[in-house]
Structure 1
């Protein structure tokens, strides 16, 4: 009972961390969003802001939750502590302070150790799809979180000294959540794309990623953005682009004026999400749903490519 009341009390904390889009509170959530919110609270432990930020686009919200639940939370060959350690390592490599804070703390809470992303040889062939699945999922969430959440799992007005106590409280709730049975995937069936062939050894991971990717790919993204991002990903070496944003502006200049703002946002989400600012969002947006759908599509495309490059999340 006490945990249930605490989870409800923390809903406002979760919503306060969302930026660039208007968060959807419980009381205004439609049936599809409300169903996901309740599942997240029950199975993750708290209303997770990295999932909540998708609420303006219900299909993307559900797809993001399926990835988190079936790939990271659900029992598999790897224990939860090891999965959290992989998540923390990927987040550190991507320099996502929010995700580093959360997954480092949950690694400790679940008894996980340090994972060297350059040494996947410590895992068996059967375990590797789960390792790479967690890596791909975090590659996705790191990008979305860097764009749409605050840098730490607290409201922007909260004093820094509160980070430790808040993090301990959150990880305690996460650790107390109900174990998630794998494979209860509500998304439409989808074939496993070639770039996710490495996931075939784990049907749960394979279907979570394939179905979620299909949802993200179905978004009404400008064709010019699809073509240009595919071309940029095909020659990408896996490292962030920058430090300036001139490369994104130069690339976007190759498409028509109508699509340039959307292309710039898509490129930045894929290759340098930390460079997305208010100006980029303002130029690209039509409404919150379109903004989330565009960013989610680009983030997933880059996440899949990042893992496929070397079969290593680094």
Structure 2
């Protein structure tokens, strides 16, 4: 657990969030307060990638449930192995913020054989070992799902680094080492402790069939995203476009969304397929309040994460 002064400084990191105003720690009530408490206790800090969701308390809870039960809670796989998956997915999605955060976490954990795979380019799982047990494979796939989601949200609402731009180059290495130590696993992070934040839900998570707890966690989160007040026009277009998407980025130009007149559709599509292309003009054109913006981007990111896992499932190879 961070010392009080460090904890206070980490709480202020939410000031780096753009486009929306997260709920400050001292003003959090109800569900937001409950999530913030678990987040600091189990993740080591008030992580901006989660806290940025706070204008929509239910989406905040859903994002935390996915992250905690996939990455933080104890299971069959090691935290180092899960951090490897988080880093690889973040690299795939061109999310430098998440790559830096989880690279720091890996450094603090030490270079396990799995962690070394990032450097060497080897598969995370030794091919000679065969297929992972279904429950372990579900854990790593859950991490991939969570980070396909978080990478998109982070790309929209945060900058390229978890360290503020005010930190001088000469101090960045030391700051990364300190932050990495805070991200070390918390002893006693028992599985399932976040589930009570959300009511039971439903969803098709065949990839998690070997792990009923993860089915429960992601079903609860899925029901939150499914109930969001996203317009039928946005839902129809995004779901249609994602249904044939193979996960490849659409290119450096944003001309691929010019055919859509609705600014909400354009923002949702870009958040889903190429979140690094979201800019001030695209957000301003949508004209959404904080809660509406978090919910639109969150819904599109969850839909894209679902598609990404379905087209590239983790098979323990």
The corresponding residue for 1:257 is: none
Size of the alignment, in residue pairs? 303
State which drifts further: 82-91 or 163-172. 163-172
Kept in 1: contact 2:203–2:223 (CA 8 A): no
The corresponding residue for 1:192 is: 203
**In 1, Cα distance between the equivalents of 2:220 and 2:11?**
28
SS at match of 2:248: coil
Question: Of 267, 273, 284, which residue of structure 2 is paired with 1:271?
Answer: 273
Instruction: Give the superposition deviation at 1:211.
Output: 1.3
Q: Does 1:309 align with 2:317?
A: no
Kept in 1: contact 2:202–2:222 (CA 8 A): no
**In 1, Cα distance between the equivalents of 2:181 and 2:124?**
30
Kept in 2: contact 1:238–1:306 (CA 8 A): yes
Kept in 2: contact 1:150–1:156 (CA 8 A): no
**In 2, Cα distance between the equivalents of 1:216 and 1:117?**
35
| CA spacing shift, 1:166–1:285, aligned 2, 3 Å | farther
Question: Of 142, 150, 163, which residue of structure 2 is paired with 1:154?
Answer: 163
Kept in 2: contact 1:153–1:163 (CA 8 A): no
The corresponding residue for 2:45 is: 46
SS at match of 1:136: helix
- Residues 7-46 of structure 1: matches in 2 within 5 Å? 7-12=7-12, 14-46=13-45
| CA spacing shift, 1:95–1:117, aligned 2, 3 Å | farther
The corresponding residue for 2:149 is: 140
For structure 1, list consecutive stretches of 5 or more residues without a partner in the other structure.
254-259
**In 2, Cα distance between the equivalents of 1:281 and 1:288?**
11
Q: Does 1:296 align with 2:298?
A: yes
Kept in 1: contact 2:203–2:219 (CA 8 A): yes
| CA spacing shift, 1:140–1:206, aligned 2, 3 Å | same
**In 2, Cα distance between the equivalents of 1:30 and 1:244?**
42
TM-score, normalised by the number of residues in structure 2: 0.90
**In 1, Cα distance between the equivalents of 2:178 and 2:265?**
40
The corresponding residue for 2:72 is: 73
Q: Does 1:125 align with 2:133?
A: yes
Question: Of 280, 283, 286, which residue of structure 1 is paired with 2:285?
Answer: 283
TM-score, normalised by the number of residues in structure 1: 0.91
Kept in 2: contact 1:83–1:131 (CA 8 A): yes
| CA spacing shift, 1:265–1:300, aligned 2, 3 Å | same
Instruction: Give the superposition deviation at 1:163.
Output: 2.8
**In 2, Cα distance between the equivalents of 1:226 and 1:118?**
36
Instruction: Give the superposition deviation at 1:145.
Output: 0.4
SS at match of 1:175: coil
**In 2, Cα distance between the equivalents of 1:82 and 1:18?**
29
1:202-248 Cα distance to aligned partner (Å, 9 max, x none): 11222222211221121100101101111101110111112111111
1:78-106 Cα distance to aligned partner (Å, 9 max, x none): 01010001101111111100000011121
Question: Of 241, 248, 273, which residue of structure 2 is paired with 1:239?
Answer: 248
Instruction: Give the superposition deviation at 1:191.
Output: 2.2
The corresponding residue for 1:262 is: 264
**In 1, Cα distance between the equivalents of 2:65 and 2:123?**
27
